[in-house]
Amino acid sequence: MVQFNRTRLDASFAALADPTRRGILERLGRADASITELAGTFRMTLTGMKKHIGVLEQTGLVTTAKAGRVRTCTLGPRRLEEEAAWIESYRQLWDSRFVELDKVVEELKRTERADARTTRK
């Protein structure tokens, strides 16, 4: 299995575990926004929104820039390629296990049908 940076994965998944932070990323995917706009969109205090943005900034998923009194948020330079690869590796693992399970179930069905035919005779 491919080696992944566990610290980075942990930080990313922790950041994405919160529905508000996922919503922020979706919102910023459409257009940049100020912290005030985001706080209004998600009906939360500026302090609460700043904390969410701080978590996303630490992972590189969001960047902010201050112009005067306004702090504007944009999607960060970091993408989720490593996280997607990690998820894909487990998807493949589970897919192969389900294929094997399907084979076992089919064999049990064949055996059951054969037993039923033998019992009827």
Q: What is the DSSP string of 4-59?
A: --HHHHHHHHHHHTSHHHHHHHHHHHH--EEHHHHHHHTT--HHHHHHHHHHHHHT
Q: Give the model's pLDDT for residue 2.
A: 56
Q: What confidence tens digit (pLDDT) does each residue in 19-51 have? A: 999 999 999 999 999 999 999 999 999 999 999
Asked if 21 and 49 sit in the same domain, the reply is yes
36: domain CATH number is: 1.10.10.10
Q: Give the model's pLDDT for residue 121.
A: 63
Using alpha carbons, select from 35, 40, 36, 39 the residue that is nearest to residue 57. 35
Q: Tokens in use for 41?
A: 């969109």
Q: Rounded distance, CA 109 to CA 104, Å? A: 9
Asked if 69 and 38 sit in the same domain, the reply is yes
Asked if 87 and 59 sit in the same domain, the reply is no
Confidence of residue 117 (pLDDT cuts 50, 70, 90): confident
What percent of the chain clears pLDDT 70, i.e. is strictly above it? 97
Q: Give the model's pLDDT for residue 118.
A: 78
Q: Rounded distance, CA 110 to CA 41, Å? A: 58
For the whole model, what pTM was predicted? Answer: 0.74
Which domain, by its residues, includes 102?
Answer: 80-121
Asked if 12 and 65 sit in the same domain, the reply is yes
Residues paired with residue 33 on neighbouring β-strands, in sequence order: 73
